[in-house]
Structure 1
Amino acid sequence: MSTVALLTGALDGGGAASPADFMAARQQMAFTLGFHIVFASIGIGLPALTLLAEWRSLRTGDPVYAELARRWMKAAGVLFAVGAVSGTVLSFEMGTLWPGFMDTYGQVFGAAFALEGIAFFIEAIFMGVYLYGWDRLTPRAHFIVGVPIVVAGLMSATFVLTVNSWMNQPRGFKLVDGEVTDVDPLAAMFNPATPVQAAHLILASLMVCGFLVASVYAVGLLRDRRAGRDDRYNRLGFAIPFSLGAVCAPLQVLVGDFAVRFVADSQPAKFAAMEGIEHTRAGQPFKFAVFEIPNALSLMLRYDAHATLRGMDSVPAGERPPAEVVRVAFELMIVLGVLLLALAAWWGLAWYLRRRRAARAGLPWHPWFLRAAALSGAAAVIAMEAGWTVTEVGRQPWIVYGVMRTEEAVSPEPGLRFGLYVVLVVYAFLAFATVSVLRRMRHEYEPAVPDAPAPEPSPEKTGAAS
């Protein structure tokens, strides 16, 4: 869902809304999007993890895989419901907070929202059949029923992303005397930004879900280690989602590099804010925190150490995004992404050594690895939120890049800030209820899963293997 996720920044210009209401509208949309995107990511990744565990159960007959699949899909059902609520709120906010945007351009991207609605209903229908079908369908039929959940979830996310990508690269219409004409919905959906943004979000969602689920089981493994237990349920519950996150991490680096290059060409002001480029010059240095490498940014971006890159001074003052917000968010995303990549490399190296030595002791059950893995879920969520901040704040002051300014889209009705207060209270209750339900589901689990053959050795026996 595309929004104006601007937490701070200058207000240029005399929109109809008061400055307080204008900022409240931005903050409300930013908060609700930041809340929803976590559940949307889990909705993409958790059904995929469930099907993977169920497939392994069908292949091996191992009851541990079956129990993981059952519990993960129950949790997915709860989170799907919460995501549906928060997504509905976002849909209403698009009309109530930004009527100028919806009235003018709704006909351009409306088809994408319609297709997203169809995908959502398909996902919901098969989710119900899948949950109700436990022990009522044959194992193979039950697995097949789960496939449309994954496909529909991916399609739903992609259709929504086409709207956001259109806001960054508007296509598929003509603007004549302020009126939208010659609408081409397909050109709007498949604009130049769609492939890179869709790939970037889907990989981010899979990473977030993988590391977030794995972090729960990492805590369980640490507790097992302290208690001298060897719980295969926790080990498999960790290995499956962490492997998903570890596989997506290097792919995300490649897609992210392409995304940065795309932004440099299509939104130079956003790129200048991301990289902290104040002045246009040849041979731009690469800056990170207090470090600076001469000519490195020009070399990395254009493969020419003396290439000229545009700075913030090339953009009119009224069209510049809040550079500090964008740069801090970009650097935070990069740092956390590199740390997650390093953790994934640790896991991958250990897996390779295990395969080469044919020894189970190769997997990294070292306590420090598990402690880092326990933090990986929160790190992935923060990195994704930082990435969305870069995308949305970096587009300011435009709600539709180069076409409509944000203050032109906001509702002129007074009292928008009171809506923000209501949303904060309601979402606090929703978050509390969600956590309470998930905790209750966790406590209902009794570790009575029958032992599978040939369990791996306990972390106590592996010592400091890494």
Structure 2
Amino acid sequence: MDDVLLARALFGTTMGFHIIFATLGVGIPLMILAAEVLYQRTKDTDYSIMAKRWTKAIAILLGVAIPSGTIAGVQLSLLWPGFMEVVGKVIALPFQIEIFAFLLEALFMSIYVYAYDRLSSSMRILSVSLVALGAVASAVLITNVHAFEGTPTGFRIENGDVVAVDPWAAFFNPGFYVTAGHVALTAYMTGAFAIASIAAFKMIRHRLQQKQFALHQKALLLSLAIGGIFSLASAVNGHGNAQFLHRHQPEKLAAAEGLFVTQSHAPLAIGGIVDRENKQVKYAIELPGALSFLAGNRFDEVVRGLNEFPEENWPPLFIHLLFDSMVGVGILLILLSIIGFSWNKILKREGFPRWMMWGFIASGPLAMLGIEFGWIFACTGRQPWVLYHIMKTADSATKSGNLGILFTLFFGMYVFFAVVTGLVMYFYFRRHPLSSELEQDNLSI
């Protein structure tokens, strides 16, 4: 394995690990806020208990998200010095502003956790709102650097030097809004389904314990409502993403759909395997004109095929599988949320069938897989460029060796972090069971 591929594997593994905690760090605070608002409106203490317990969980997750994010920042400088030279001169603003977003999140998280019983109801809502705001701002700001990689603006490179720098033009690059929206919406969706997954599991486990079952059922319905809203919003935003790719990264869209020939009424290929030699997608289900509509809101929109671009600049064609998997997960989550919420609220059924419960349990891991598929698709689909049509990934990578040893060490460390996080979660909530909090709540009434 060459050094460039090792560098990509190392940084990709770091981001693949970090994004789990970062996504939950954005999504769960919104769930806490929703539970806190419902408690203040209904005075149902079950929602207060949810908010407190989810806050403890997010505090544990942040204990891993912060160091893993720091590692990612250090690796950017070590693995991609050519890229960071441009970043330092052109788009350092997101990194600088993100510090204040993180401070906002950390400050009001501390206030919410340690001063909860001394805060008024309005101040509790304000505190957790600012936690949620700081979390999503951090995610959007950092992801903006990724958006800049796909649509680099605000500078020129002349004779190897970075000139004509406009930091704000780089900050508000063409990919900023669509990328920021997708990151926020999918994080909220994932946080909701992570809670839904746990709530459904607990409902099965505690089906004979009425009070615990009732609390988990409320958590599940809240999660399905929020998860359904943001999964639908993510789908709408995904349509915007396709149009963005059509305008700004056409070879990425063509590779995602295995489209080799420029054409109007371009079909959308569902499933199948991209055959590079024969320039077709084998075994796919094709929807005539659907890709053209996705790209331009009209069936006769002309979509550029891969044949228009030099083959050495094609993205890896396996991104078709990633794209289909990401979209498939999103559709499944939309269906699960609609079916579950309708079953309870429209059909007025008290419980859920067992098959549906296992679907809810699977929704959290599926949502996380969707995030991973999407992130890998976004980064791999930009290849071979680190700055689209300006700087190739190979030209930006470090020339130092021994990356194989670093990869092994960091991979082992991430496994350790994952195991420790699971154990801390398990033992904390085992020592602080829900039953004891429900008993304390009864005593206080």
Same fold (TM over 0.5): yes
Match of 1:298 in 2: 292
1:223 to 205, 213, 234: 205
Give the equivalent residue in structure 1 for 2:173.
Answer: 191
Counterparts of residues 44-83 of structure 1 (less than 5 Å) = 44-83=26-65
Deviation at 1:304, TM superposition (A): 4.9
* Higher mean C-alpha deviation, range 98-107 or range 328-337: 98-107
SS of equivalent to 2:435: coil
AA paired with 2:222?
I
Distance 1:127 1:344, change over 3 A: same
CA distance in 1, matches of 2:434, 2:100: 38
1:87 is aligned to: 69
Question: What is the TM-score when the length of structure 1 is the normalising length?
Answer: 0.87
In structure 2, the gaps of 5 or more residues are: 272-282
- Report the equivalent of 2:194: 212
2:337 corresponds in structure 1 to 344
Separation in 2, partners of 1:421, 1:387? 25
CA deviation vs aligned residue, 1:368-416 (integer Å, no higher than 9, x gap): 2211000000110111111111111010000011100001111111112
Secondary structure at the aligned position of 2:206 is classed as helix
How far has the Cα of 1:351 moved from its partner? 5.1
Number of residue pairs aligned between Structure 1 and Structure 2 = 427
CA contact (8 A) 2:243 2:294 kept: no
2:18 counterpart residue number: 36
Code of the aligned partner of 1:309: V
Give % identity.
30
Which of 307, 315, 318 is equivalent to 1:321?
A: 315
Equivalent residue runs for 1:209-288 within 5 Å: 209-225=191-207, 227=208, 229=210, 231-288=213-270
Deviates more, 1:156-165 or 1:54-63: 54-63
Aligned match of 1:413: 400
Q: Which residue of the partner structure matches residue 182 of structure 1?
A: 164
Superposition deviation, residue 182 in structure 1: 2.1
Q: Distance in 1 between matches of 2:241 and 2:247?
A: 10
Counterpart Cα distance in 2 of 1:153 and 1:304: 37
Q: 1:228 to 1:436 in 2, by over 3 A?
A: closer
In the aligned structure 1, how far is the partner of 2:268 from the partner of 2:30?
Answer: 39
Amino acid of the structure 1 residue aligned with 2:253: F
Match for residue 418 of structure 2 among 419, 424, 431: 431
Q: 2:305 aligns with which of 311, 316, 323?
A: 311
Out of 362, 369, 375, which is 1:388 matched to? 375
Instruction: Report the AA paired with residue 339 of structure 1.
Output: L
Paired residue secondary structure (2:149): helix
Distance 2:333 2:290 in 1: 24
Name the counterpart of 1:442: 429
Q: Give 1:46's aligned amino acid.
A: I
Q: CA deviation at 1:47?
A: 1.5
Deviations 1:253-273 (A, max 9, x none): 111011111101211110011
Closer, same or farther: CA 221–396 of 1 in aligned 2, 3 Å:
same
Q: TM-score normalized by structure 2?
A: 0.91
User: Which position in structure 2 is the counterpart of 1:357?
Assistant: none
CA–CA separation in structure 1 for the residues paired with 2:307 and 2:236: 30
Say which is worse superposed, 59-68 or 417-426, in terms of deviation: 59-68
DSSP-derived class of the 1:323 partner: coil
Comparing 308-317 and 203-212, the one that deviates more: 308-317
Q: What letter corresponds to residue 431 of structure 1 in structure 2?
A: A
Contact 2:40 2:121 in 1 (8 A): yes
Q: Deviations over 1:171-197 (max 9, x none)?
A: 111222121122111111111111111
Which residue in 2 is equivalent to 1:367? 354
Select 1:104's aligned residue among 67, 76, 86: 86
SS at match of 1:308: coil
Paired AA for residue 250 in structure 1: L
Report whether the alignment pairs 1:116 with 2:109: no
Give the CA deviation at 1:364: 5.7
Give the 3-state SS of the residue equivalent to 1:411 in structure 2: coil
Determine the C-alpha separation between the residues in 1 that align with 2:335 and 2:6.
39
CA distance in structure 2 between the aligned counterparts of 1:98 and 1:80, rounded to whole angstroms: 26
How far did residue 318 of structure 1 move? 1.4
- Paired residues of 2:221 and 2:341 also in contact (CA < 8 A): no
Per-residue displacement from partner, 1:239-288 (whole Å, max 9, x unpaired)? 22232111111111111011111101211110011011122334433322
The verdict on how the C-alpha distance between 1:174 and 1:347 changes in structure 2, with shifts beyond 3 A counting, is: same
Q: Is the 8 A contact 2:239 2:294 kept in 1?
A: no
What CA distance in whole angstroms lies between the structure 1 residues aligned with 2:117 and 2:345?
37
Q: 2:110 aligns with which of 125, 128, 131?
A: 128
Q: Write the deviation string for residues 220-256 of structure 1: whole angstroms up to 9, x where unpaired.
A: 112233x474621211222222321111111111110
Task: Report which stretch shifted further, 391-400 or 437-446.
Answer: 437-446
Change (3 A) 1:296 1:130: closer
- CA offsets per residue over residues 326-358 of structure 1, 9 Å max, x none? 10000101111111111122134335526xxxx
Judging changes above 3 Å, is the alpha-carbon distance between structure 1 residues 251 and 299 closer, same or farther for their aligned structure 2 residues?
closer
Please state whether the residue corresponding to 1:281 is helix, strand or coil: coil
Alpha carbons 2:94, 2:142 under 8 Å: kept: yes
Once the two structures are TM-superposed, the CA of residue 206 in structure 1 deviates from its matched residue by 0.6
Separation in 2 of the partners of 1:205 and 1:414? 36
Q: Distance in 2 between matches of 1:102 and 1:452?
A: 53
The amino acid that maps onto 2:435 is: P
Q: Tell me the amino acid that sits aligned with residue 260 of structure 1.
A: A
Contact 1:62/1:452, CA 8 A, preserved across alignment: no
The residue identity in structure 2 corresponding to 1:177 is N
Change over 3 Å in CA distance of 1:60–1:309 after alignment to 2: closer
The AA in structure 1 aligned to 2:81 is: P
**Structure 1, unaligned stretches of length 5 or more?**
1-18, 355-360, 454-466
Give 1:429 deviation, angstroms: 0.6
1:148 alignment partner in structure 2: 130
Query: Residue 133 of structure 1: CA displacement?
Result: 1.1
Change (3 A) 1:134 1:102: same
When the two chains are superposed, the root-mean-square deviation of aligned CA atoms in Å is 2.0
Deviation of the 1:451 alpha carbon: 10
Q: What code does the residue aligned with 1:286 have? A: L
Amino acid at match of 1:155: A
- Could you tell me which amino acid in structure 2 is paired with residue 98 of structure 1? W
Separation (CA, whole Å) in 2 of partners of 1:51 and 1:295: 42
2:277 is matched with none
